[in-house]
Structure 1
Amino acid sequence: MTNKNKTVVRSMDVLNLFIDHAELTFQEVIEHSGIPKTSVYRMLMSFEEMGFLVKGEDSKYRLGLLFLKFGHLVSSRINIRNIAYPIMQDLHHDVNEAVNLIIKQNDEAIYIEKIDTLQKVRLYTAIGRRSPLYAGACSRVILSFLPDTEIDAYIDSIELKPFGMGSITDKSHLYETIRQARIDGYTVSHSELENHTSAIAAPIFDHKGEVIAGISVAGIEANYQNEKIPMYAEKALEAAKKISNQLGYTD
């Protein structure tokens, strides 16, 4: 184990003390952890600066609000999967196409649920798969409904690389698709992540009205033409609205 790893492990030992103790003094941390005084002092100072711990007027340390934030993120992402799954099942049985659920993670989208048991031709997408926010309907629907400043910062920072024949590689075109998504309320993709496949996606919002996920209907490109697009879009939007409402979102 490297020195760096030892430091990380010791730091986690200190933080883990607060699982069983609501508050601890500096001396109590030393006694419970068995870590030298100088090391504990440095750790506590760093944790305080980062917001992991707060020191009260009584000189006792307690977990900081940052843990509440992380806890809320974990909770919301687990809950959204539980809430979305039965709605995804209903949508899948209605359209007989793959139904995907994704969330944003840093500057990428990650697939956290997929149902495709009734689909005759299976797609490459899988739970755990990542894609850039600009590529594919389900990823881009999250990007499209982020605040303008976040969208601009993201697009400024990336290089648009092709994945399939229909991948967006021009930033002006990307902005156009975002503007259209905000008008329509949904996104459409053809051969963006995988050739000859299409998807139609709708955004999912939380109780604060912020986009936190996307749900898509996806399949072979030939099935996503002309009148099929508004039909699939309506069903995706309806499913997204049901999930959003259960998360506390109101129009």
Structure 2
Amino acid sequence: MSTADKLLNALALFTYEAPEWTVEAAADALSVSGSTAYRYFSSLTKAGLLDPITNGRYILGPAIIAYDRQLRHWDPLIKVARPALEKLIQRNGGEGIGLLCRRFRQQVMCVHQYHEKQVDKAVSYERGRPMGLYRGAASLVILAHLPGRTRRALYASDAAAIGKAGLGDNWDEFRAKLRVIKNDNVCITHGQLDQGMIGISAPIFHAEKQIAGSVSIVLTDESVGESEVAGAAALVQAAAREVDVGLGRIENLPALRPALGAIIG
């Protein structure tokens, strides 16, 4: 394992569930000496990725916030999808929460939200929170469009969780359920993650037609009927197509060379 990999493993210790670490605890978790863990933490602190607080504890550093700001402004997917989400909510009369999600390892993460009205209920797809692949419209529509080899590997390693989520007790049932979602090109779920909430999601694709993520709207059960759900589903699909077109234009542009001053300064 390279030094870079070891540093990344040290950084990966800092999670929502375990936001603070000491050098000693990190050394135990990584199975390295205390001096080695100290060198990792020192390097990460110099880069602004960690920040020492009190009693030898460390938390994530301010560089993370700087990178987050950069992503909000320059990530091609967010840049293209932001206006599409705004139009989606406006076309739906200002109702609902618009979500942009993408795959993150073997999970799905919301990377942007938009709403116009005060949200009475929190939604599980909070920005930056990793969510499972097997529940929720935003995740299921991404899962349905993953390559067949990837879906088969997921089933082989996670059959119990897939069955518990109601996606099939064998490979053929799992494949059939995902085929329906894929053919519909939209996924609608009722209360799978948040009681009283409806999720409506459509896939978005890279220029090479690989799945890039999903565009969604979340509505409250009591505020909509079947016709409103159908109308919102059409709006979500239209928003997804807008993102497809915009993402294709950006991804087909020639790569930009950074200014020399940005590299050396």
For 1:162-189, what per-residue CA distance to the aligned partner results, in whole angstroms no more than 9, with x for missing partners?
Answer: 99xxx53644564343111111111111
Corresponding residue number in structure 1 for 2:183: 183
Q: Which residue of 1 aligns with 2:166?
A: 168
Aligned amino acid, residue 168 of structure 1: G
How far the C-alpha of 1:156 sits from its partner, in A, is 2.3
- In structure 1, the residue matched to 2:205 is 205
Task: Give me the CA root mean square deviation.
Answer: 3.1
Report the equivalent of 1:143.
143
CA contact (8 A) 1:155 1:171 kept: no
| 1:5 partnered with 2:37 | yes
- Structure 1 gaps, min length 5: 17-73
Aligned length in residues: 188
Q: What whole-Å deviation, never above 9, does each CA across 1:124-166 have from its counterpart, x for those lacking one?
A: 2321222111110001111110111101111222232799xxx
Counterpart Cα distance in 1 of 2:169 and 2:198: 21
Seen in structure 2, the aligned counterparts of structure 1 residues 175 and 193 have a Cα distance that, compared at 3 Å, is farther
SS at match of 2:75: helix
Provide Cα deviations, 1:181-220, integer angstroms capped at 9, x if missing partner. 1111111111111222111101110111110111101121
Given that 1:142 and 1:211 are in contact with CA atoms closer than 8 Å, whether structure 2 keeps it comes out as yes
For the pair 1:93 / 2:90, whether they are aligned, the reply is: yes
- What is the CA deviation profile of residues 111-134 of structure 1, one whole-angstrom value per residue up to 9, with x for unaligned ones? 111112326533323212221111
Q: Mark the structure with the bigger radius of gyration.
A: 1
Instruction: Please report how far the alpha carbon of residue 238 of structure 1 lies from its aligned counterpart in structure 2 after TM superposition.
Output: 0.8
Structural mapping, 1:65-104, within 5 Å = 78-95=75-92, 96-104=95-103
Alpha carbons of structure 1 residues 130 and 174: separation in structure 2 relative to 1, 3 Å = farther
Whole-angstrom distance in 2 between the partners of 1:237 and 1:99: 13
| Structure 1 residue 75: Cα displacement | 10
Could you tell me the TM-score, scaled by structure 2's length?
A: 0.61
Return the alpha-carbon distance in structure 2 between the equivalents of residues 128 and 207 of structure 1.
25
The change in CA–CA distance for 1:218 and 1:77 in structure 2 (over 3 A counts) is farther
Normalised to the residue count of structure 1, the TM-score between the two structures is: 0.64
Aligned to 1:115: 114
CA contact (8 A) 1:134 1:174 kept: no
Cα distance in structure 1, aligned partners of 2:108 and 2:74: 13
Q: Name the % identity.
A: 19
Equivalent in the alignment of 1:127: 127
